[in-house]
Structure 1
């Protein structure tokens, strides 16, 4: 890759990351959420019986203390409850409440808006090419840094 193209790639990806995160933060703030909390709540909601903090952390690819901190920040919203695990008194199961389930369509709506605002004007064929290229780039980077890099961000 030539230096000029390298600069374009770096500038485009850095700017895209900043703008996407800022737009996502603005949209989620209207729901009382911060980036990352949307994914956490959505993942939790996929398990009707809930999951332990360690299960949630594993599913999100983060360390358990990170998941615990995120849950603590979310707790005031009333979007989940903690229930004891009958087979292990040291564990608690995190279960999404009805209020949390009612929030899911709005979260998915934010994701849809972001996708449409980001790539909506690009025709279907070019969008498929862009998505394939981004997924391949993610796979290459994941292989280089491993999933633990996600836990640090």
Structure 2
């Protein structure tokens, strides 16, 4: 079992590093891609609470992530009429324009990770990873 643990840790670290390298060309860090992609699915914008719920994280996590992205011009924050505490987040044209590049980066990562695998191998891998995820849910909260 120690070999399985080591393999999972190694793969997770390598994937995160490859993701960071791939996203850096877009001016993004891992996690920021998912946040922007999520906003891309909501043309009218989303409340921070809605983003947090969709991503399976706490609102302060979303607020921190947005603060890190603030200087990039990816989105705007707008007050919500009638609710001084709520903030609507909407992608700018620049933010909308990066979504296809994010999706292309994800495709490249998936193709790289599964290079040399047949379609059948990939389907089996997906099934095994889903089993691992389900098993881990007994000790951890799902963030995706």
Using the size of structure 2 for normalisation, the TM-score is: 0.94
Deviates more, 1:99-108 or 1:135-144: 135-144
Which of 100, 111, 114 aligns to 2:106? It is: 111
Unaligned runs of 5+ residues in structure 1 are 1-5
Which of 70, 77, 81 aligns to 1:82? It is: 77
Number of aligned residue pairs: 144
**Corresponding residue of 2:36:** 41
**Corresponding residue of 1:8:** 3
**Corresponding residue of 2:52:** 57
**Corresponding residue of 1:19:** 14
Distance 1:7 1:91 in 2: 47
- SS for the counterpart of 2:86 is strand
Distance 1:43 1:87 in 2: 25
- The root-mean-square deviation of aligned C-alpha atoms, in Å, is 1.4
Using the size of structure 1 for normalisation, the TM-score is: 0.89
Displacement of 1:102:
0.4
Runs of 4+ that moved beyond 6 A: none
Residue 64 (structure 2) pairs with residue 69 (structure 1): yes
**Corresponding residue of 2:87:** 92
**Corresponding residue of 1:3:** none
Distance 1:40 1:142 in 2: 22
Unaligned runs of 5+ residues in structure 2 are none
Displacement of 1:87:
3.2
- SS for the counterpart of 1:89 is strand
Displacement of 1:57:
1.0
**Corresponding residue of 1:133:** 128
Encode CA deviations 1:60-116: one digit per residue, 9 max, x unaligned.
Answer: 111111110000000111110011212323211000111001000110111000000
